[in-house]
């Protein structure tokens, strides 16, 4: 035995491959040996047994009666003999085992001389010729062993050239191989000498020789198992590229997508252009000056068509952190930090970006840590899952864009779980707490004495179940409760500003982002004594907050019919009600400042032409889809038609879809859409949306979108 040099773990792995390769070479060498020693006689082939196991054959060898160069071989002493003569015709026993030298090899009087299985029997000279035959066989074996050692050395040199072994390691291994080569030559010389002696003294009385061999089927099993073991280890350790990235890099999973879009926003004639853009007012530094004679309310566009080319690009990475932890990040484009849209209008100059080929901003869109409790080995049961996500992550609820926009991310913590209670029944649940707004640490900036915090939270829970009704019908249904804390505006205490930029104590209750549709009230309740000191033209700024709390109950359902799979038909519906909505409370809410200035008691919007408040608390949608649920190959397609009806205060307008009717609530109308796959990773889309106001002043908008999407 030899002591090999100390090797690293990586080198040991590579040497394992080398040894396996050498073993395969050895089997091939034995096969070559069999071919050189003579052709087989098919008539003498031993039938394969039904059970793959090592077997012993007994041959009887007797000289022919009239030919000194011919002997008769039989596996049954009572059977007729077969001639084996100078023409090298022989019986053929199939095997994969290497040739084994019996102790009686070369015994001229032994009747146990036989060829190893799988190797044709060489010509056997009777009596005096047996010693010479044995010596020649040993010489051939020595020559083949020498060639095998040379091949070992060649293989070691190849491994060294490819970088699997260092030069010192390869030199030491070559030295050991050459040493083994010399020892084999010596051993063969000893056997040759022993054959001379055995030929004179080792005769066996019954004239038979026992030879062990392995059948073909076992040989193939061994070769296949060696092959699979080598390939598996090669894939796991990336032998094809020993200079691969560090192990941590293999735990990173990258995703991304790009969407280009043409969007046409079309406004029919007759729209009322006296609406107010409350988001523009509430996000300004001072608010709306209501004491100016030419006071102008910020108004949204409702009468001028617009053509926009828009881009959305997202790139994310998710890392496997072991022990069932994962973490992810994603960045995305966007005109602004709007929570409901990642669209960047090409050429749009706003938010200090874009226009004249200027660069566009990227935003932190996702950042989370996730722990998969349900994937622990002792709990890894199909249909069972339980995980916790913390940070900024995808919408964890089963819902539609009527309540939560598709691009919306949730900040906070969410717990999700599912459990397969029975065949075809898998209940699930989701609970979470999400900070919507956190009060500025230094609020109010202009005052030595700071104001109380007015933090806003969403607490939500959803329970539901998946039902496999039969082989073709799947149903998913869930009920959710979304409880917003402090989302509504709060009227201030009597307010006397100390500067134009000074804050009232409830200014932070106004929404940081909104679209349109919700009912608003004025927040700043100016002190009556302060109002008497005002001179003509003195500024008087106002902010606006939501007029009602939002405690939403939503029922969401989907029915999928898959009889013609992969072609599906599925129906999605959702109904929502804001149970905190109270019209009387809204009418009596708002700032109560009286005097010569405009009084803001009650809601400031959602009145009809007769001056009646028309706010509502219900919403619903219904969408029918046909085609492929997911676009996975060329020419996959799907199409849909939908209708929605969303009253003003059924949901928070700042979090719902941004495309239908320009975004927000107090809208009803239809949507038609279709998508077509142009490759596995590219698809096109076409959508048409037509919306009108549910109540209040006249408003209509049609939106056409033509998309080209790519993912990677």
List, for residues 67-111, the tens digit of each pLDDT value: 444 444 444 444 444 443 443 333 333 333 444 444 443 444 444
- Coil, helix or strand for 103? coil
Average pLDDT, the chain: 80
- Coil, helix or strand for 688? strand
Long-range contacts of 318-324 (CB under 8 A, 24+ apart): 318/252, 318/253, 318/255, 319/251, 319/252, 319/253, 320/251, 320/252, 320/253, 321/251, 322/251, 324/371, 324/372, 324/373, 324/375, 324/376
Long-range contacts of 170-175 (CB under 8 A, 24+ apart): 172/4, 172/5, 173/4
Read off the pLDDT band of 19 (50, 70, 90): low
Measured distance CA(179)–CA(228) in Å, rounded: 32
What pLDDT is stored for residue 473 in this prediction?
97
List, for residues 155-183, the tens digit of each pLDDT value: 888 877 877 777 777 788 888 878 877 77
Q: DSSP string of 574-619? A: EEEEETT--HHHHHT-S----SSSPP--S-SS-B-TTS-B----EE
Query: What b-and-e string marks burial along 627-656, b requiring 16 or more CB atoms within 10 Å of the CB?
Result: bbeebeeeebebebebebbbbbbbbbbbbb
Which are the contacts of 606, defined by CB distance < 8 A and separation ≥ 6? 519, 613, 614, 615, 648, 666, 695, 696
Read off the pLDDT band of 599 (50, 70, 90): low
The token pair that represents 653 in the structure block: 């307008």
* Pairing between β-strand 456-468 and β-strand 425-437 as defined by DSSP bridges: antiparallel
Q: DSSP string of 38-50? A: ---BGGGPPPPPS
What pLDDT is stored for residue 500 in this prediction?
82
- Coil, helix or strand for 223? helix
Cβ pair 301, 272 in contact under 8 A? no
Read off the pLDDT band of 293 (50, 70, 90): low
The side-by-side arrangement of strands in the sheet containing 208-213 is: 82-84, 71-74, 55-63, 208-213
What pLDDT is stored for residue 196 in this prediction?
60
Cβ pair 667, 679 in contact under 8 A? no
Question: Of 609, 611, 605, 701, which Cα lies nearest the Cα of 648?
Answer: 605
What pLDDT is stored for residue 299 in this prediction?
85
Which are the contacts of 234, defined by CB distance < 8 A and separation ≥ 6? 17, 240
What angle separates helix 167-201 from helix 128-161, to the nearest 10 degrees?
Answer: 170
Give the range among 139-153, 408-422, 445-459, 549-563 with minimum mean pLDDT.
139-153
What pLDDT is stored for residue 691 in this prediction?
98
* Pairing between β-strand 71-74 and β-strand 82-84 as defined by DSSP bridges: antiparallel
Which are the contacts of 68, defined by CB distance < 8 A and separation ≥ 6? 126, 127
Phi-psi region of 13 (alpha: psi -120 to 50; beta: other; left: phi over 0): alpha
């Amino acid at each position: 035995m030899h002591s090999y040099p100390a090797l690293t773990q990586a080198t040991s792995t590579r040497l394992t491959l080398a040894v396996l390769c050498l073993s395969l070479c050895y089997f091939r060498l034995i096969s070559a040996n069999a071919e050189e020693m003579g052709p087989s006689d098919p008539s003498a082939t031993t039938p394969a047994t039904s059970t793959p196991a090592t077997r012993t054959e007994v041959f009887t060898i007797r000289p022919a009666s009239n030919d000194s160069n011919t002997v008769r071989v039989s596996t049954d002493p009572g059977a007729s003999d077969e001639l084996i003569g100078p023409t090298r015709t022989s019986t053929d026993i199939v095997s994969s085992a290497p040739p084994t030298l019996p102790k009686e090899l070369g015994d001229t009087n032994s009747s146990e001389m036989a060829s190893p299985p799988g190797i044709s029997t060489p010509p056997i000279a009777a009596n005096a010729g047996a010693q010479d035959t044995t010596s020649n066989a040993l010489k051939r074996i020595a020559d083949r062993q020498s060639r095998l050692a040379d091949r070992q050395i060649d293989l070691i040199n190849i491994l060294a050239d490819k970088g699997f072994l260092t030069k010192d390691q390869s030199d030491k291994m070559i030295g050991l191989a050459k040493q083994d080569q010399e020892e084999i030559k010596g051993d063969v010389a000893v056997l040759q000498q022993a054959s001379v002696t055995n030929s004179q003294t080792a005769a066996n009385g019954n004239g038979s020789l026992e030879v062990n061999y392995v059948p073909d089927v076992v040989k193939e099993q061994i070769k296949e198992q060696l092959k699979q073991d080598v390939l598996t280890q090669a894939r796991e350790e990336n032998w094809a590229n020993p200079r691969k990235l560090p192990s941590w890099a293999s735990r990173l999973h990258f995703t991304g997508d790009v969407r280009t879009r043409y969007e046409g926003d079309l406004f029919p004639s007759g729209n009322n252009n006296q609406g107010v853009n409350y988001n523009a007012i509430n996000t300004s530094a001072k608010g709306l000056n209501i004491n100016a004679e030419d006071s102008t309310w910020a108004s949204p566009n409702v009468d001028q068509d617009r053509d926009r080319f828009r881009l959305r690009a997202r790139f994310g990475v998710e890392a496997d952190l072991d022990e069932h932890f994962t973490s992810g990040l994603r960045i995305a484009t966007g005109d602004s930090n709007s929570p409901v849209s990642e669209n960047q209008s090409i050429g749009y100059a706003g938010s200090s970006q874009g226009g004249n080929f200027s660069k566009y901003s990227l935003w932190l869109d996702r950042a989370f840590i996730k722990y998969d409790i349900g994937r622990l080995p002792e709990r890894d049961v199909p249909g069972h899952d339980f995980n916790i996500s913390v940070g900024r992550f995808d919408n964890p609820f089963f819902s539609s864009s009527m309540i939560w926009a598709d691009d919306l991310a949730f900040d906070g913590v969410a717990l999700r779980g599912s459990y397969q209670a029975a065949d075809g029944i898998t209940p699930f649940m989701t609970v979470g707490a999400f900070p919507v707004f956190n009060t500025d640490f230094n609020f109010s900036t202009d005052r030595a004495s700071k104001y109380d915090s007015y933090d806003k939270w969403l607490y939500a829970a959803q329970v539901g179940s998946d039902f496999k009704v039969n082989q073709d019908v799947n149903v998913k249904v869930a009920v959710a409760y979304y409880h917003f804390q402090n989302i509504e505006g709060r009227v201030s205490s009597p307010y006397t500003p100390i500067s134009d930029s000074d804050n009232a104590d409830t200014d932070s209750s106004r929404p940081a982002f909104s679209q349109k549709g919700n009912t608003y009230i004025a927040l700043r309740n100016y002190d009556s004594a302060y109002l008497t000191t005002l001179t003509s033209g003195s500024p008087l700024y106002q902010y606006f907050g939501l007029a009602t709390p939002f405690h939403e109950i939503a029922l969401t359902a989907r029915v999928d019919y898959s009889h013609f799979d992969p072609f599906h038909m599925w129906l999605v519906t959702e109904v929502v009600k804001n149970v905190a909505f109270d019209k009387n409370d809204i009418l009596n809410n708002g700032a109560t400042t009286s005097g010569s200035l405009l009084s803001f008691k009650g809601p400031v919007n959602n009145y009809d032409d007769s001056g009646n408040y028309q706010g509502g608390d219900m919403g619903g949608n219904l969408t029918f889809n046909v085609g492929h649920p997911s676009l996975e190959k060329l020419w996959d397609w799907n199409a849909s038609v939908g209708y929605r009806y969303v009253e003003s205060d059924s949901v928070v307008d700042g979090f719902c879809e941004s495309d239908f009717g320009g975004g927000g609530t107090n809208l009803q109308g239809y949507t038609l859409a279709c998508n077509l796959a142009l490759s596995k990773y590219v698809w096109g889309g076409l959508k048409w949306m037509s919306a009108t106001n549910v109540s209040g002043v006249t408003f209509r908008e049609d939106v056409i979108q033509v998309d080209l999407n790519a993912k990677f």
